[in-house]
Amino acid sequence: MSARLFQPQYLQAPRNFVLPQFSQAICLEIGAGMGRHAILFAEQNPNKILVAVERTSAKFKVFAARQQDHQLENLYPVHADAIPWVVHALLPQTVEQLFLLYPNPEPKNPAQRWLNMPFFEFLLSRLQDNARITLASNIPAYLDEAASQLEQVWKLPFVRQAIAPDSARTHFEVKYLARGEPCEELIITKPAGYQTRFDSYISPVARC
């Protein structure tokens, strides 16, 4: 596990936070952008609930408008910073699938990359046994580092694979593949029995 311990108790809930109520496990997308993947996934998986979180106001505005056009009852767009939202909104072992598609590579601040953050341990505690994480990037060095973290720090099994040239899950993916850039993804599994230091943590907001 990460040497630095994430401290969820110091995070305030996002502004205008509403505690979600779901009757089944959810899928979660962090960094949903303008919602291309979220809408496609919700259309193709009507029996799954997808919560898609986007922090940037301009992108979320487009996403929310597109969601209204499609009227997908199983898609929940959320305008918030994902870290405090996850801390206060999600209970342990409630996420069956997580998407991190083309996240900001944070070239000037590697500590802010998802698998380098102590928060990643908390995020793992929200995942069910055998849940899957999809991490996609067009930067080989980013995935090299993530793979190293999975092996050395998080001890999680994964498969690294090329993304098909005709894939079009996100606007970034369409753009990168059209340029001929080598897009790849890590498919990460949380094994049954995997333990974190947050497996019993529930935000006081969620207890109310």
| Domain parsing of the chain, residue ranges | 24-207
Q: What angle do CA 50, 54, 57 make, to 5 degrees?
A: 140
How many CB atoms neighbour CB 163 within 10 A? 17
Q: If we measure between CA atoms, which residue out of 50, 65, 72, 94 comes closest to residue 206?
A: 94
The confidence score (pLDDT) of residue 3 equals 60
Return the pLDDT at 207.
80
Q: What percent of the chain has pLDDT over 70?
A: 98
Nearest alpha carbon to residue 4 among 111, 138, 158: 111
pLDDT for 4? 80
pLDDT at 85 > cutoff 90: yes
Q: Over 90: is that where the pLDDT of 30 sits?
A: yes
3-state secondary structure (DSSP) of residue 199: coil
Cβ atoms within 10 Å of 185's Cβ, excluding its own: 24
Parallel, antiparallel or unpaired: strands 75-79 and 49-54 = parallel
More confident residue, 18 or 31: 31
Q: How confident is the model at residue 57 (pLDDT cuts 50, 70, 90)?
A: very high
Q: How confident is the model at residue 93 (pLDDT cuts 50, 70, 90)?
A: very high
Domain spanning 24-207: which superfamily?
Vaccinia Virus protein VP39 (3.40.50.150)
Q: How many CB atoms lie within 10 A of CB 23?
A: 5
pTM here is 0.95
